[in-house]
Amino acid sequence: MEARAATVPAAAMDTVAGTPTAAGTVTRAVVPAGAAVGAAEGPEGAPGGAAVAAADLADRGAMVDRGAMVGRGGSMVAREGAMVARDLTGAVEEGIMGRDGYNNGGYGGGNGGYNGYNGGPQGGYEGYEGYGGSGGYFDLNQMQLQSQDYSNVAEFKKDFYADTVVAEGLGEDDVRQYLEGREIHVQGENLPPPITSFAGAVWPAHVNQAVQNAGFNDPTPIQAMGWPLALQGRDIVGIAETGSGKTLAFLLPGIVHILAQPYLGPGEGPIVLVVAPTRELAIQIMEEARKFGTSEDPQECVKAVCVYGGAQRQPQIGTLRQGVEIVIATPGRLLDMINGEYTNMRRVTYLVLDEADRMLDMGFEPQIRQIVSQIRPDRQTLLWSATWPRQVHELAEAFLRNPAKVTIGCQDLKANHSITQNIELLQEIEKYGKLTELLEKEQDGNRRILIFCKTKVGCDELTHNLRSDGWQALSIHGNKRQNEREWVLAEFKEGRNPIMLATDVAARGLDIKDVMVVINFDMPNTAEDYVHRIGRTGRAGALGTAYSLFTRKDGGISKEIVKVMDEAHQDVPPQLRQMAQNSFDMGGRPPFRGGFRSGGGPGRSGANLTPVGTRGGFSGRRGGRGGRSGGY
Phi/psi of residue 141, nearest 5 degrees: -70, -20
In whole angstroms, what is the distance from residue 505 CA to residue 274 CA?
18
Confidence of residue 61 (pLDDT cuts 50, 70, 90): very low
Backbone angles phi, psi at 351, to 5 degrees: -110, 130
Edge-to-edge strand ranges of the sheet holding 499-502: 419-425, 544-550, 515-520, 448-452, 499-502, 473-476
Counting every residue written for the chain, the total comes to 632
Specify the pLDDT at position 215: 86
Provide the H-helix boundaries in 215-330: 221-231, 246-259, 279-293, 313-322
pLDDT digits (tens, 9 = 90+) for 1-16: 433 333 333 333 333 3
Q: How many CB atoms lie within 10 A of CB 628?
A: 18
For residues 595 and 631, is the Cβ–Cβ distance under 8 A? Answer: yes
Instruction: Name the burial class of residue 143, with classes exposed (0-12), middle (13-18) and buried (19+) by CB atoms within 10 angstroms of its CB.
Output: middle
Q: Comparing 22-31, 455-464, 564-573, which segment has the lowest mean pLDDT? A: 22-31
Question: ∠426-427-428 over CA atoms, to 5°?
Answer: 125
Among 526, 473, 484, 527, smallest CA distance to 506 is for 484
Spatial CB neighbours of 134, under 8 Å, sequence gap ≥ 6:
3, 5, 6, 7, 36, 46, 47, 98, 99, 101
User: By the 8 A CB rule, do 184 and 408 touch?
Assistant: yes
Confidence at residue 547, expressed as pLDDT on a 0 to 100 scale: 98
Angle, CA of 283, 284 and 289, to the nearest 5° = 95
Amino acid at 146: Q
pLDDT for 47 equals: 35
Q: Which amino acid is at 100?
A: D
Instruction: Let me know the angle formed at the C-alpha of 486 by 481 and 488, rounded to the nearest 5 degrees.
Output: 95
CA distance 198 to 217: 7
pLDDT band at 142 (very low <50, low <70, confident <90, very high): low
Per-residue pLDDT reduced to its tens digit, 165-185: 988 888 889 999 999 999 999
CA dihedral 150, 151, 155, 158 (to 10 degrees): 60
Q: Are 58 and 70 in contact (CB under 8 A)?
A: yes
Residue 490 is which amino acid?
Answer: A
Strand ranges for 85-211 from DSSP E: 113-114, 117-118, 184-187
Residue-wise pLDDT for 369-421, tens only, equals: 999 999 999 999 999 998 888 889 899 999 999 999 999 987 677 888 899 99
592 or 440: which carries more pLDDT confidence?
A: 440
Helices (H), 61-219: 161-164, 172-181, 205-214
Of the candidates 560, 557, 454, the residue with the CA atom closest to the CA atom of residue 504: 454
- Pairing state of beta strands 69-72 and 75-76? antiparallel
Looking at residue 531, its amino acid is V
pLDDT attached to residue 276: 97
Residue 446: predicted pLDDT: 73
Q: How confident is residue 491, by pLDDT bands cut at 50, 70 and 90?
A: very high
Query: Could you give the count of Cα atoms lying within 13 Å of 78 in the half-sphere of its Cβ?
Result: 17
Distance CA 72, CA 36 (A): 10
Query: How distant, in Å, are the alpha carbons of 240, 303, 306, 328 from that of 287?
Result: 21, 11, 9, 10
Query: Out of 106-115, 322-331, 469-478, 494-503, which region has the weakest mean confidence (pLDDT)?
Result: 106-115
pLDDT for residue 85: 32
Question: Predicted confidence band at 110 (pLDDT cuts at 50, 70, 90)?
Answer: very low
Longest dimension (CA), the chain: 83
Question: CA 105, CA 45: separation in Å to the nearest integer?
Answer: 8
Rounded to 5, what percent of the chain is helix, strand, coil?
30, 15, 55
Cα dihedral 79, 80, 81, 84 sign: positive
* Least reliable range by pLDDT among 62-66, 137-141, 357-361: 62-66
The predicted pLDDT at position 143 comes to 66
Q: Which of 370-384, 500-514, 554-568 has the lowest mean pLDDT?
A: 500-514
Helix (H), strand (E) at residue 398: helix 390-399
Smallest CA-to-CA distance from 471 within 527, 514, 519, 532 is with 519
Give the span between the Cα atoms of 245 and 540, in whole angstroms.
10
Rounded CA separation 215/89 (Å): 39
The pLDDT value recorded for residue 444 is 77
Measured between alpha carbons, how far is 597 from 458 in angstroms, rounded to an integer? 12
CA–CA distance, 510 with 242 (Å, rounded to integer): 8
52 versus 192: which is more confidently predicted?
Answer: 192
Whether 80 contacts 86, CB under 8 Å: no
| Rounded Cα gap, residues 75 and 63, in angstroms | 19
Q: Compute the C-alpha angle 196/197/198, nearest 5°.
A: 140
pLDDT in tens, 582-624: 643 333 333 333 333 333 333 335 777 788 876 554 433 333 3
What local confidence, expressed as pLDDT, does residue 81 receive? 32
Quote the pTM value. 0.56
Angle of the 313-322 helix axis to the 331-339 helix axis, nearest 10: 60
Q: What's the gap between Cα 383 and its chain centre?
A: 17
From 340-344, 379-383, 469-473, 523-527, the region with the lowest mean pLDDT: 523-527
Q: How far apart are the two ends of the chain, measured CA to CA in Å?
A: 45
Beta strand 272-275 with 350-353 is parallel
User: Residue 444: CB partners within 8 Å, gap ≥ 6?
Assistant: none
Integer Rg of the chain from CA: 26
CB 90 within 8 A of CB 128: no
Closest CA to 617 of 459, 440, 424: 440
Among 509, 507, 519, smallest CA distance to 447 is for 519
CA distance 4 to 335: 13
* 74 contacts 107 by C-beta, under 8 angstroms: no
Distance CA 29, CA 23 (A): 10
- The full set of domains in the chain, from first to last, is 1-139 (no CATH), 234-408 (3.40.50.300), 419-609 (3.40.50.300)
Mean pLDDT of 120-136: 33
CA 436 and chain centroid, separation? 27
Could you count the other beta carbons within 10 Å of the beta carbon of residue 108?
17
